[in-house]
Structure 1
Amino acid sequence: MAPQKSSFGNIPNNTNEHWYKDPCLKRNITQCLGLSLVIFYLGCRLHCDQNLDYRPGAETDLDDASLLTGLQAMASWGQFVDHPKGSILGLYTAILFLPSILTAYLGDFVSQHFGRRIALALGSLIVLAGSLINALAVNPAMWVTGRGIIGAGSGIAKVAAPALIQEIAHPRLRPMIASCYYPCFYFGSLLSALLCFAGLYIPGNWSWRTPSIAQVVGPSLWLVYQNRLTEAAAVLSKHHANGVDDDPLVRWELAEIQAVLEEERANHQISYLDFSRTAGNRRRLVVLLSLCIGSNWVGNGIISYYLTPVLKTVGITSPVQITLLTSGLAIWNLILAFAAALNVERFGRRPLFLVSIFGMLVSYCLVTGFSAGFASTKKSGLGIAVIPSLFLYYGFYDIAWTPLPVPYTAEILPFKLRTKGLAVFTSVGTMANAFNQFVNPIALQAITWKYYAVYIAILLFYLVFAYFMYPETKHYTIEEVSMIFDRRNGDIEQLSDLASRKVEKGTIEQFEHRE
């Protein structure tokens, strides 16, 4: 079969074939990657909370297998918050996530009525305020309040940023740039690892304040939707054609966007109920729910959040060994996640998902087998064999489940449902994550390695589900991708033809002057 060609591949465009030689594309990439700092903060915050590794010789209480056990290793932090245990410690963990269950929907409202940039700015300012409150807290209540405010702001920003990236990225670069969004999490994780390690040797409360203070340290589709075509054309020409207003690709993009939005207005897709009104939208909803739940329920919930107790179950208890393994895993994740993101258009979303899930399934079987063998025989070799299996598992996780769920969700949704879908993704994903965090430590303590069998079953389900429910979307524009769930390829070709006819007939200029 001949390789599929993009619908815009033969349209002239005033940009260099090599992005690094073109000022417009370099600026576009910089702006889109800048939007990925939204997830960078999350990597920084989570790593501070979960993976503050142990000072050589320090003793750490792991009774509750809580996410904040690393912070408990810091005597100054324990004294400041009065050594929280049990449900109180669980609350300190959850307060970072729970507000976004609600504020994600606020992010959708602001994005739809005032634009993506306003929503992003609002969310970022709230995160900034929460970080300062958290870092400069004078009592535990103020510290917890700061975490809650950070979580509230992140819920707004995490809805606006992925949508804006999809909408302002050059169509030739959009799949790769969008897929780099979540891998930026690992940049935050690595920075935090360094800051937290240094903080272990800073006396007093500044040992835990330092990472928090360091953390402080496109709108084209929305414009078209508001019938502001002249401004939208200016945005597209600036970011996709080095300022050339009559660039053929810009004119074609604008016409395609206009055609899609005119049809959406005719269908009156304006509320969350629209997810249930057509077969295509119902399928979109099922897919995005599978992605946001699966992001935390394909086995990574144990490895990423409870790596230390997992390692202890196989006999690896040395603080130095644990520190090196967690840091090495972060670097491994960073490399593979970005490698997959930059090649997503070459391999396609569907093959990456299927290979990823199958590889994770095999790896998890190895982890389970070696863990069972170590539990029965106490042979150190079997315990050590778990380590490369964990790295192998995360290698497969990183090629799909790190870079793809957020951009895949954003691109399969039509414009008017895009931020609504991302709000559902963020809210439900947060609830799934919170439940996961509650169940995992209890199950690990009760049945140890036997609990891994649950995730083997989940991975088997996702392998079948992905095969039947995840369509391929490579080589399509953002407008065309959203149509795959409704009418398949024939109508996408019709959309491309319609856009071309609009350009030829001058429909865009006539529409522009109706403002």
Structure 2
Amino acid sequence: MNGLLILPSYTEYFHLTTATVGLNNAASWIGAIVGALAMQPVADVLGRKRGILVASLITIAGVALQAGAQHIAMFVVARVVVGFGSAISNASAPVLLAELLPARTRGRVLGIFFSCFYVGSLVSAIVNYGSRNIQSTWSWRLPSLLQFIPSFLALCLLPFVPESPRWLISKGQDAHAKEILYIMQGSAATPNTENDNDSTSAAEAALRDIKSTMQREEAAYPRNAWRELLATPPNRRRLLILVSFGTMISTLGNFVISYYLKRILDQAGVADADAQLRINVGLNCWCFLAAAAYGDTDNQAGIYSTIAVIFLFQGFYSFAITPTTSLFPSEIAQYKLRAAGIAVFRFFDSGFGLLCSFAMGYAMEGAWLALLPC
């Protein structure tokens, strides 16, 4: 959305105002809020893999609507659908990783998982920059359409990804779970060897450990996942952390940069669209690879200071917060509460994201200045 808002063809086609800019930004959060209500049933009932499948199909449908949008209402509905699909994936994908990976690598990989958000942002920024000179609505329709690629890749790769052994065990599919645990030992391609026997023994031991842990959890937490979140003091503390963390990540200030970079740059004196798109590319490079870029106006000291602070803030946020958004919610709760806990986290993240989508647009227009005391 940062890139699209910089493109004149996009803003002029929809005749955007402060209200409709906020609505376009908020639409994906509306979908995410609704999707948060479906996260736990989809991930726990259909399974982690099918959850990713459902999320990918929904997202592709939303992308098609967005790319073909003829008016603002169609664009907003499309963004709601994309937000809903993204929410489902945010429950299924990190949970699947958490339940497949061994403890020694789980934290590192889950941290990398959401950090790759910036890979997508960087690609998006480059695509927007490359499409800026297309003399038609395809300058914004093409970046919208290319959003289908990650979901398409997920659909292509999903047949080769194993299901969560914990989910399979919870559904009584112990033999399938054991096969996956065996494959995860890394010796499936060398049967009838000593390594193969070791892997089989390790898979059987892992299966017993997982079943034992799940049985203890079931005995300790016999109610449904939503009731258990409130049933005991430890779980209430987990719930408090999930609520506060979900609220925090949308209210630390990064939201303004993520959705209203154009207005920040306008106010700083960088009004040229090409310069703004270059800064958008550079900022995403910095967030993932610590690169930099800047614009050019008369007030050089003010410009450089503003952009330097933006880069510093985003760098620290990316280092400290971004990796934990997929790692912490997945790790803090037991198996039975994991999907429900992530749903709570995402509900509050999306709720405050929705609030900021509207509030920040008006705040940056100066509409709130009249409400402040002299």
TM band (smaller chain) = 0.7 to 0.9
How many residues in Structure 1 have an aligned counterpart in Structure 2?
341
Shift in Å at residue 282 of structure 1?
1.0
Output the TM-score relative to the length of structure 1: 0.61
Secondary structure, aligned partner of 1:51: helix
User: Counterpart in 1 of 2:215?
Assistant: 262
Match status 1:234 vs 2:142: no
Give, as a single letter, the amino acid of the residue that structure 1 aligns with 2:93. Answer: A
Shift in Å at residue 401 of structure 1?
0.7
User: Counterpart in 1 of 2:301?
Assistant: 381
Match status 1:51 vs 2:30: no
Residues 94-144 of structure 1 deviation map (CA, whole Å, 9 limit, x = unaligned): 222202212222121022122111111111111111212222344544333
In structure 2, do the counterparts of structure 1 residues 396 and 137 end up closer, same or farther at CA, with 3 Å as the change threshold?
A: closer
Match status 1:284 vs 2:238: yes
Q: Which runs of 5+ in 2 are unaligned?
A: 150-162, 189-195, 292-297, 370-374
Query: Residues of 2 paired with 1:88 and 1:307: CA distance?
Result: 16
Q: Does the CA-based 8 Å contact 2:99-2:165 persist in structure 1?
A: yes
1:220 equivalent among 165, 172, 181: 165
User: Counterpart in 2 of 1:126?
Assistant: 58
Query: Residues of 2 paired with 1:227 and 1:147: CA distance?
Result: 38
Q: Which structure ranks higher in relative contact order (CA pairs < 8 Å, sequence separation ≥ 6)?
A: 2
User: Counterpart in 2 of 1:178?
Assistant: 110
Q: Does the CA-based 8 Å contact 1:126-1:153 persist in structure 2?
A: yes
Secondary structure, aligned partner of 1:431: helix
User: Counterpart in 2 of 1:296?
Assistant: 250
Q: Does the CA-based 8 Å contact 1:159-1:423 persist in structure 2?
A: yes
Give, as a single letter, the amino acid of the residue that structure 1 aligns with 2:174. Answer: L
Residues 275-303 of structure 1 deviation map (CA, whole Å, 9 limit, x = unaligned): 11111111111111222111121221223
Q: Does the CA-based 8 Å contact 2:243-2:345 persist in structure 1?
A: yes
Query: Residues of 1 paired with 2:330 and 2:26: CA distance?
Result: 26
Shift in Å at residue 448 of structure 1?
9.9
Match status 1:74 vs 2:9: yes
Q: Does the CA-based 8 Å contact 2:23-2:357 persist in structure 1?
A: no
Identical residues among aligned pairs (%): 29
In structure 2, do the counterparts of structure 1 residues 90 and 119 end up closer, same or farther at CA, with 3 Å as the change threshold?
A: same
User: Counterpart in 2 of 1:418?
Assistant: 338
User: Counterpart in 2 of 1:113?
Assistant: 45
In structure 2, do the counterparts of structure 1 residues 269 and 414 end up closer, same or farther at CA, with 3 Å as the change threshold?
A: farther
User: Counterpart in 1 of 2:284?
Assistant: 330
Query: 1:360-509 maps to which residues of 2 (within 5 A)?
Result: 380-446=300-366
User: Counterpart in 2 of 1:26?
Assistant: none
Query: Residues of 1 paired with 2:215 and 2:85: CA distance?
Result: 33
Query: Residues of 1 paired with 2:168 and 2:210: CA distance?
Result: 11
User: Counterpart in 2 of 1:37?
Assistant: none
Shift in Å at residue 269 of structure 1?
4.0
Q: Does the CA-based 8 Å contact 1:336-1:399 persist in structure 2?
A: no
User: Counterpart in 2 of 1:41?
Assistant: none
Query: Residues of 2 paired with 1:84 and 1:444: CA distance?
Result: 15
Q: Does the CA-based 8 Å contact 1:123-1:157 persist in structure 2?
A: yes
Say which one has the larger Rg: 1
Query: Residues of 2 paired with 1:265 and 1:236: CA distance?
Result: 22
Shift in Å at residue 392 of structure 1?
1.9
Residues 461-509 of structure 1 deviation map (CA, whole Å, 9 limit, x = unaligned): xxxxxxxxxxxxxxxxxxxxxxxxxxxxxxxxxxxxxxxxxxxxxxxxx
Query: Residues of 2 paired with 1:89 and 1:390: CA distance?
Result: 21
Shift in Å at residue 382 of structure 1?
4.7
Query: Residues of 1 paired with 2:71 and 2:358: CA distance?
Result: 26
In structure 2, do the counterparts of structure 1 residues 390 and 84 end up closer, same or farther at CA, with 3 Å as the change threshold?
A: closer
Secondary structure, aligned partner of 1:297: coil
Q: Which runs of 5+ in 1 are unaligned?
A: 1-48, 53-68, 338-377, 450-515
Q: Does the CA-based 8 Å contact 1:170-1:240 persist in structure 2?
A: no
Secondary structure, aligned partner of 2:246: helix
Shift in Å at residue 85 of structure 1?
2.2
Shift in Å at residue 181 of structure 1?
1.6
Give, as a single letter, the amino acid of the residue that structure 1 aligns with 2:89. Answer: A
Give, as a single letter, the amino acid of the residue that structure 1 aligns with 2:101. Answer: A
Give, as a single letter, the amino acid of the residue that structure 2 aligns with 1:221. Answer: R
Query: Residues of 2 paired with 1:179 and 1:425: CA distance?
Result: 17
1:272 equivalent among 226, 230, 234: 226
Give, as a single letter, the amino acid of the residue that structure 2 aligns with 1:298. Answer: L
Shift in Å at residue 150 of structure 1?
1.6
Query: Residues of 1 paired with 2:73 and 2:266: CA distance?
Result: 33
